C-alpha cells in the first residue's frame, strides 16, 4: 500500500491514470488479429455507432467503402464487423468458403425479442431441418404452381376494389397493399384471410413493421440494457403482443387438429412433430417456440419485404409516367383486359420484368441483408477475418457500383434488355434475395407475388402523384427493411 502511495506522490494521480488507460488500450489493440481489413477509426467504435444512428447503415457503409476499400472492418462498441461491398468479395466469401461464412449469430436484439426457431438465425443441422420444412411447406401450399397464382389473383380482386373505392382521389396505398400481401401469407400460415378492416389484423401488421425498424446495427444491439428502460416500454409491449398473437393461434389449431385435414403451416408443423415421433426423433427441434419463429420468418418474408417492394414499384411508376405507359402497353399486348396475369406470361413481358428489376436494383428492400458469422478464422484476399466475426453484405453498394452499372443513380430499365429491346437480360450482380446457402427460401414465392401484383395493378389503374403537392422523396427509411416514407397516390381506372 505504501509503495502505491509513493508511486502516486512521485508521478501524480492524473499521470498515473493516463498511463493506465494508455496501457490497457495498447494491450487491447495488441491483441487484435494482424492484417484486418482497414476501416474507420473510433475509440472502441462508439463514434461509429453514432454515425449509423443518423442515416441508413447501407449509406454509411458505402461512404466508408469509398474511403477504405470494398472490404473494410469497423468496430461498434468493441464488436468487430467486416463489411463486403462488392460482388467479387461477397461471392469469394459465400460461394468460395461457404462452410466458414454461412453461419448466423443471432443479434442481442433477436434474443431480446425472444424469437426462437427462426430459420434465418439457426445454424447447423437445426437450420437444415427448419429450412427443409419451410421450403417443403411452401411447396405443399402451391409455391410455383397454378393454384397459388389463382389464390393470389383472388386476393388481388379485393385490393383492386380497394383502389377503385378511392375514386381517383389521393390516398396512402401502404395499408391496402400490406393487407393484400399479408393475406396471401396468412392463408398459408393461419389457414384464412383477414378483412382489411379487422383491427387485430391491422395491429399485427403494425407490430411486424415496428420489429423490422430495428436492424442489426441499431443502438439496442450495442446497448441491450436499454431494452429494459422506460424508453423502450412500447417495444417490449409490441414484442409481447407478437408472441401472444402466434401463441393463441397455435393453441387454437392444436385443439382442432386433424391429421387428415392439413389446413395451414401450423397443422403441417404438428404433422411433422408426429412424423418425427414415429421415427424415434424426440427432440425440441420442432416445438412451439420454433413454430413461432418460422411463422414470424414467413410473415417477414411474405409480408413486409414484398409489400415494401410493391410500394417502391408504385412510387417509381408515378415518378416515371412514360415508363408506366410502356408497361401498360406490354400488358395490353400480351394479356389484354379479359383475364388476370399468370407467371406463364412473364417470359413474354421483357419490359415489365426489366422495370421491376431496375426498381429493386435502385431500392433493394433489404440493403444490408441479414448478417453472416464466421465459423473459424480465415483469409479473404489479403485480409485475415477472425473467428466469430459478424460479416455484413452491403447489397446497396453492389447495386450502385459504378464499375458495374453505368450511371447507377439513374432509373433506366433498358439496362435489363437486349440491344433491340425484345428480350430480357438477367444480371447476376443483383442480390435482391441475397446469395449462397442463406439465399431467401421464399424467393420463388416472393417473385410470383411481385409479378402478379404489379401486373394486376397496372392492368387496371394508372398511378400518379396528387397535383399541387411535392413529389415524395426516394430516400427511404432505414432499418432491416428499406421502406419508402409515407406518400399519397391517385389511382385512376384505365379507360
32-36 contacts, C-beta under 8 A, 24 or more apart = 33/377, 33/384, 33/386, 34/384, 35/382, 35/383, 35/384, 36/73, 36/80, 36/383, 36/384, 36/386
Minimum mean pLDDT range among 18-22, 85-89, 298-302, 406-410: 18-22
pLDDT at position 354 over 80: yes
pLDDT at 79 > cutoff 90: no
Q: What is the pLDDT of residues 133-191, one digit of tens each?
A: 888 888 888 777 778 888 899 999 999 999 999 999 999 999 999 999 999 988 888 88
Whether 27 has a pLDDT exceeding 60, the answer reads no
Interhelix angle 265-278/124-140, rounded to 10 degrees, is 130
Residue 228 and residue 166: Cα distance in Å, rounded? 43
Determine which of 208-222, 255-269, 369-383 has the lowest per-residue pLDDT on average: 208-222
pLDDT number for residue 288? 85
Report the sign of the C-alpha dihedral through residues 278, 280, 282, 288, in that order: negative
How far apart CA 450 and CA 464 sit, in angstroms, is: 20
Q: For residue 15, is it within any domain?
A: no
Residue 334 has pLDDT above 80, yes or no: yes
- What's the pLDDT score for residue 335? 96
- Nearest-angstrom CA–CA distance, 261 and 267: 8
Cα radius of gyration rounded to whole Å, the chain = 25
Q: Which residues, in sequence order, are bridge partners of residue 391?
A: 82, 372
- Within a domain: 90: yes
For 251-258, what is the mean pLDDT?
92
Does the pLDDT value for residue 33 go beyond 80? Answer: no
The whole-chain average pLDDT of the chain stands at: 86
Domain assignment present for residue 21? The answer is no
Are 274 and 259 spatial neighbours (Cβ–Cβ below 8 Å)? yes
Residue 3 lies in a domain: no
In a domain, 100, yes or no: yes
Higher pLDDT, 85 or 285: 85
Please, which pLDDT band fits residue 408 given cuts at 50, 70 and 90? very high
pLDDT value for 230: 80
pLDDT bracket for residue 345 (50, 70, 90): very high
* Global confidence as pTM: 0.87
The residue segments making up the domain with residue 412 are 32-493
- CA dist 82 and 392 (Å) reads 6
* Spacing of C-alpha 64 from chain mean position: 22
Say how many domains are in the chain: 1
pLDDT in tens, 95-135: 999 999 999 886 655 555 555 656 777 888 888 888 888 88
Question: Is 216 part of a structural domain of the chain?
Answer: yes
Residue 380: inside a domain = yes
pLDDT higher than threshold 80 for residue 5 = no
Instruction: Answer whether residue 7 shows pLDDT above 80.
Output: no
CB 324 within 8 A of CB 458: yes
pLDDT the model gives residue 101: 95
Phi, psi of 258 (to 5 degrees): -135, 115
Q: Which of 27-36, 50-59, 445-454 has the lowest mean pLDDT?
A: 27-36
In tens, the pLDDT along 432-470 reads 999 999 998 888 889 999 999 999 999 999 999 999 899
Contacts of 379 (CB under 8 A, 6+ apart): 385
> What is the distance between the alpha carbons of residues 20 and 104, in angstroms, rounded to a whole number?
37
Residues 19-50: b if buried by 16+ CB within 10 A, e if exposed: eeeeeeeeeeeeeeeeebbebbebeebeebbe
**Residue 236 in this model has a pLDDT that exceeds 90:** no
> In this structure, is residue 23 part of a structural domain?
no
- Check if the beta carbon of residue 392 is closer than 8 Å to that of residue 72: no
CATH number of the structural domain spanning residue 327: 1.10.630.10
Residues 419 and 87: their CA atoms lie apart, in Å, by 24
Amino acid at each position: 500500500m505504501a509503495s502505491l502511495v509513493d508511486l502516486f506522490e512521485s508521478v501524480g494521480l492524473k499521470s498515473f491514470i493516463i498511463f493506465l488507460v494508455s496501457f490497457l488500450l495498447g494491450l487491447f489493440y495488441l491483441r487484435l488479429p494482424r492484417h484486418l481489413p482497414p476501416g474507420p477509426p473510433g475509440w472502441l467504435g462508439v463514434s461509429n455507432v453514432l454515425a449509423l444512428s443518423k442515416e441508413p447503415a447501407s449509406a454509411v457503409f458505402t461512404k466508408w467503402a469509398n474511403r477504405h476499400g470494398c472490404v473494410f472492418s469497423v468496430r461498434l462498441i468493441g464488436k468487430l464487423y467486416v463489411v463486403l461491398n462488392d460482388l467479387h468479395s461477397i461471392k469469394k466469401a459465400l460461394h468460395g468458403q461457404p462452410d466458414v461464412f454461412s453461419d448466423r449469430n443471432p443479434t442481442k436484439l433477436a434474443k431480446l425479442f425472444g424469437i426462437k426457431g427462426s430459420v434465418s438465425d439457426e445454424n447447423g443441422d437445426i437450420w437444415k431441418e427448419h429450412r427443409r420444412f419451410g421450403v417443403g411447406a411452401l411447396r405443399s401450399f402451391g409455391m410455383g404452381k397454378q393454384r397459388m397464382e389463382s389464390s393470389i389473383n383472388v386476393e388481388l380482386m379485393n385490393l383492386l376494389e380497394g383502389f377503385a373505392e378511392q375514386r381517383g382521389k389521393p390516398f396512402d396505398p401502404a395499408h391496402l397493399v400490406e393487407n393484400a400481401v399479408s393475406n396471401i401469407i396468412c392463408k398459408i400460415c393461419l389457414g384464412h384471410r383477414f378483412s382489411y378492416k379487422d383491427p387485430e389484423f391491422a395491429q399485427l401488421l403494425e407490430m411486424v413493421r415496428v420489429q423490422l425498424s430495428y436492424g442489426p446495427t441499431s443502438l439496442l444491439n450495442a446497448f441491450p440494457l436499454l431494452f429494459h428502460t422506460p424508453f423502450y416500454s412500447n417495444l417490449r409491449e409490441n414484442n409481447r403482443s407478437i408472441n401472444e398473437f402466434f401463441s393463441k393461434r397455435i393453441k387454437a389449431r392444436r385443439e382442432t387438429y386433424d391429421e387428415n385435414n392439413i389446413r395451414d403451416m401450423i397443422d403441417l408443423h404438428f404433422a411433422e412433430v408426429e412424423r418425427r415421433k414415429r421415427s424415434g426423433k424426440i427432440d425440441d427441434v420442432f416445438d412451439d417456440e420454433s413454430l413461432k419463429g418460422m411463422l414470424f420468418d414467413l410473415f417477414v418474408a411474405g409480408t413486409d419485404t414484398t409489400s415494401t417492394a410493391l410500394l417502391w414499384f408504385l412510387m417509381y411508376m408515378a415518378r416515371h409516367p412514360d415508363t408506366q405507359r410502356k408497361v401498360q402497353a406490354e400488358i395490353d399486348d400480351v394479356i389484354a383486359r379479359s383475364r388476370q396475369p399468370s407467371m406463364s406470361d412473364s417470359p413474354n413481358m421483357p419490359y415489365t420484368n426489366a422495370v421491376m428489376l431496375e426498381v429493386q436494383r435502385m431500392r433493394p428492400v433489404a440493403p444490408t441483408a441479414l448478417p453472416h458469422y464466421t465459423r473459424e478464422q480465415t483469409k479473404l484476399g489479403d485480409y485475415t477475418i477472425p473467428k466469430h466475426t459478424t460479416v455484413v453484405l452491403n447489397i446497396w453498394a453492389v447495386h450502385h457500383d459504378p464499375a458495374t452499372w453505368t450511371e447507377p443513380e439513374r432509373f433506366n430499365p433498358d439496362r435489363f434488355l437486349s440491344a433491340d429491346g425484345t428480350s430480357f437480360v438477367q444480371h447476376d450482380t443483383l442480390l435482391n434475395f441475397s446469395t449462397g446457402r442463406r439465399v431467401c427460401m421464399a424467393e420463388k414465392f416472393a417473385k410470383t407475388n411481385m409479378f402478379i401484383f404489379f401486373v394486376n395493378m397496372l392492368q387496371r389503374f394508372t398511378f400518379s402523384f396528387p397535383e399541387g403537392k411535392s413529389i415524395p422523396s426516394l430516400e427511404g427509411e432505414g432499418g432491416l427493411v428499406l421502406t419508402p416514407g409515407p406518400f399519397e397516390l391517385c389511382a385512376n381506372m384505365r379507360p
